[in-house]
Structure 1
Amino acid sequence: MAVVWLLTVFAAVYLVQRGAFRLWGAKGIRYERSFSAPYAFAGQRVTLNETLTNGKPLPLPWIRIETMMPSMLRFGSPGSEMAVSSGQLLQNHASLFSLPPFTKVRRKHEVLCAHRGVFRLSSLTCTFGDLLGTPAGTLALTADCEIAVLPAIREAARLPVSVRQFMQSSLGHPEAFREDHYQIAGIRAYRSGDSMKQVNWSATAKTGQLLVNKRESMVDNDAIVLLNAELLDAAENRRVPPEAFEEAVSFAASVIHHLMNSGGKAGLVFNGQAGERRDVPLRVEPRAGREHLFALLRLMAEFEPVVRRELAYVLEELAASGLRNANVLLISAFLTPKQRMLVDRLRQSGNRVETLLLYREAIA
């Protein structure tokens, strides 16, 4: 009789607590997540921050947050409170929490950005359980966050000799850094010989260092990087592997990065798929400034080797547009005889065109 009584009490307690968790367990749950930086370069590490809040008097013995993420974001060694199941393109990330009443828990995960791209995390599934460990309910939540993984930047010394010579030539015009334009391009440290009229007193007061307004140069030191998305060489009947395109994007990003950090202006032409951009081909005119640099790198994070216009047509359009006295770096896995002829046509128009062919170029 005592056993029956104990079983009855146990069943009643179980049903009451289970009903309480099923009725109120989902109330007051808030989940937020964010990356420690809005962007990173491929190969760098960032932190994914999770915040889970229980805003009610009922404790949650356990709650599991599950979400699907791109496999290009690689987590460190998972602990007892985290599990990661990875596939080729996606991975399932699960975090386990235990929340007393009116509690906020913050957790940080180190993430390796293994591949360029723009990665968005949105929906997730929240499962919570009762005192005996059995699931009591499921809740669908939304916690949007995004990170742009920019192409890897190579050191200038690791770029091919021809590319380094191209950059030096683009920046080596006489008086290439003469600031003789009315347009202000930022601020810089004071140099001997600068006019006191150029001093930016507001910035000087804030930093304690004498700073002057930096002006644009009227001398043309623009450079245009033309990136070819074609991977199929029909003339030679061979297909270049996707790794060659990733190398091409890295070279293009590195050249633009080093040119603009040295005071030059850079533009970009791309004949492939660039995220949601509908320009065919994508063409960004040369400009200077940090904002323009990161706008270009952000675009390149979404480049895909999906040809939207053949390189031959792009070269014909550039020649027909009246392009003159421009510094053009063409990065491609290969060049067909027709493409070489069009490159020569651009050169005959007074442009300097340097080609970087990935399967032939040796790294110096």
Structure 2
Amino acid sequence: MIRAALRGLTTRGRSFLAAAAAATVSAFALGERELLQVAGLLAALPILAVIAVARTRYRLSCTRAVHPGRIQAGNPASVALRLENLSRVPTGVLLLEEQLPPALGEPPRFVLDRLASRQWSSVEYPIRVDVRGRYEIGPLTVRLTDPFGLCELTRSFTRTERIIVTPQVTPLASIPLEGDQSGMSPNQPRSTVARGEDAASTREYRVGDDLRRVHWKSTARTGELMVRREEQPRESLGTVLVDTRFSAHRGTGPTSSLEWAISSAASITCHLLRAGFDLHLVTDAGVDAELRPESGENIALGILAEAEASRIQSLGMALDRLQHERDQLLVAVVGLLTPEECARLAAARTGGTSIAVLIDSTAWASLPGAAKSDAERRYQENVARLAAAGWKVLPARPGARISSLWTLAGTAGGGAALAGGGPEAPEGHGAPNGQWASNGSGVPR
């Protein structure tokens, strides 16, 4: 500890030792013995400071609380530190410094006054994160010093705090999400389609279901193996597909098309979970998470908070994971698609509502005239193909808001496409006032 304290000598302390050495040399060179007394005094002060700091045996505890518990990207938050002196001796003035990753800002520094035995004090500092992800706060370091500022010793707590910064979640309006061929009301859950008296108490057989629950009467009538619903007589099922491929997006940082896609997917997923849906969250990176309304929101936000741009080139594996129940809801938030991927996505539509948030990622990049025209042509071809297959296509461009697109998705029939990306789309894209427009085949006019 003495060695550590010696290494902690401040510039002032080292200057005192240098002055002591100079006085000693001068005393022998000039034959002035009185200078040795001055040299001894100059050397004694930093040495005593080193001993005092090294023998300091403070027992301190530190607790940390982050408010709010769930932080959304772009929103402010605060961290409260509570420091308590557990030893019997009072502390001196403490210099505190919190360790933070660069994304959370500059490390905050505090000066804490003397703490008596069993006394505690608290400090609070703000943080603001513009990029989602998982971060680690801490550890807290304490700098001990003597009253003259000759020696400074740094000690560090070991405890850190992990925080998750989730994507921005935008509240969405409730819209009709009925199956096109189910004949059900807009507010009726998707899997309780009107297929007879037993429709509300049966569902399609899934791998792993107990064969003793097979409902033979419904099986004979529908031609498909049906089982009784014992716990959930009415289910709302859906799948949300999120395209995180690096090749499918453009732009960098919080304003990239990837961040727009993840934030939109988070908003849609949370909205559907709050509406009572059982969801599958699927990504091209291999995620296939089952989400329940009671606990799925935290799971989904945790997954999307740590999602990174994947190097996977094809969306094929994600399309293979889509659940193909007869009347389930499908929502796909996708970037640039090849004609083959677009054809597969179009064919994945079931009898339920299918919504494609089709991001025009090239609009996030600066392209020359010819390349821009070619990208626009291919994009409109994908819009037309999905719309013709019965998808509700929501073209998204820079400036579009998922809340506006989602609301407009409830005002159009299957196969419609919103031109341009909503009222917030940049000038030159889309129909006036964000209205729906098509030429009959789903191609925007």
TM-score (norm 2): 0.56
Question: How many Å separate the matches in 2 of 1:322 and 1:118?
Answer: 33
Q: Equivalent of 1:363, from 393, 415, 422? A: 422
| 1:131 alignment partner, SS class | coil
| 1:263 paired residue number | 276
Aligned-residue RMSD, C-alpha: 3.5
Distance 1:56 1:284, change over 3 A: closer
The 5 Å alignment of 1:66-81 reads: 66-73=97-104
Computing the radius of gyration from Cα coordinates, the structure with the larger value is 2
| 2:164 paired residue number | 148
CA shift, 1:3, in A, is 10
CA shift, 1:71, in A, is 3.6
TM-score (norm 1): 0.67
Structure having the larger proportion of residues in strand: 1
Q: Equivalent of 2:78, from 47, 65, 83? A: 47
Per-residue CA deviation, residues 45-100 of structure 1 (Å, 9 max, x unaligned), is 33211122334455544332334313443xxxxxxxxxxxx4xxxx4333332324
| 1:298 paired residue number | 302
| Higher relative contact order, structure no. (Cα contacts within 8 Å, ≥ 6 residues apart) | 1
Question: How many Å separate the matches in 1 of 2:35 and 2:77?
Answer: 57
| 1:303 alignment partner, SS class | coil
| 1:318 paired residue number | 321
Question: How many Å separate the matches in 2 of 1:172 and 1:72?
Answer: 48
Question: How many Å separate the matches in 2 of 1:142 and 1:15?
Answer: 29
Question: How many Å separate the matches in 2 of 1:255 and 1:17?
Answer: 62
Q: Is contact 2:247–2:313 with CA below 8 Å preserved after alignment?
A: no
Distance 1:352 1:176, change over 3 A: closer
| 2:267 paired residue number | 254
Q: Is contact 1:64–1:128 with CA below 8 Å preserved after alignment?
A: yes
Question: How many Å separate the matches in 2 of 1:247 and 1:145?
Answer: 28
Q: Does 1:168 align with 2:199?
A: no
The 5 Å alignment of 1:46-195 reads: 46-56=77-87, 59-73=90-104, 86=105, 91-102=106-117, 103-156=119-172, 168-169=177-178, 173=186, 175-176=188-189
Matched-pair identity in %: 19
CA shift, 1:14, in A, is 5.6
CA shift, 1:142, in A, is 1.1
Structure having the larger proportion of residues in helix: 2
Question: How many Å separate the matches in 1 of 2:259 and 2:188?
Answer: 36
| 1:327 paired residue number | 329
| 1:310 alignment partner, SS class | coil
| 1:146 alignment partner, SS class | strand
CA shift, 1:143, in A, is 2.1
Contiguous gaps of at least 5 residues in structure 1: 74-85, 158-163, 182-214, 273-280
Greater alpha carbon shift after TM alignment, 117-126 vs 253-262: 117-126
Q: Is contact 2:291–2:300 with CA below 8 Å preserved after alignment?
A: no
CA shift, 1:218, in A, is 2.9
Question: How many Å separate the matches in 2 of 1:256 and 1:52?
Answer: 40
Per-residue CA deviation, residues 296-321 of structure 1 (Å, 9 max, x unaligned), is 11221111112457312321x236x7
Greater alpha carbon shift after TM alignment, 222-231 vs 64-73: 64-73
Per-residue CA deviation, residues 335-359 of structure 1 (Å, 9 max, x unaligned), is 2101111012212x64643211122
Specify the code of the residue in structure 2 equivalent to 1:27: Y
Question: How many Å separate the matches in 2 of 1:288 and 1:343?
Answer: 26
Specify the code of the residue in structure 2 equivalent to 1:20: A
Question: How many Å separate the matches in 1 of 2:331 and 2:37?
Answer: 86
Distance 1:285 1:14, change over 3 A: closer
CA shift, 1:23, in A, is 1.5
Question: How many Å separate the matches in 1 of 2:46 and 2:103?
Answer: 44
Contiguous gaps of at least 5 residues in structure 2: 1-32, 193-199, 202-229, 361-394, 397-420, 424-445
Q: Is contact 1:39–1:148 with CA below 8 Å preserved after alignment?
A: yes
Question: How many Å separate the matches in 2 of 1:32 and 1:130?
Answer: 26
Specify the code of the residue in structure 2 equivalent to 1:363: G
Question: How many Å separate the matches in 2 of 1:333 and 1:298?
Answer: 22
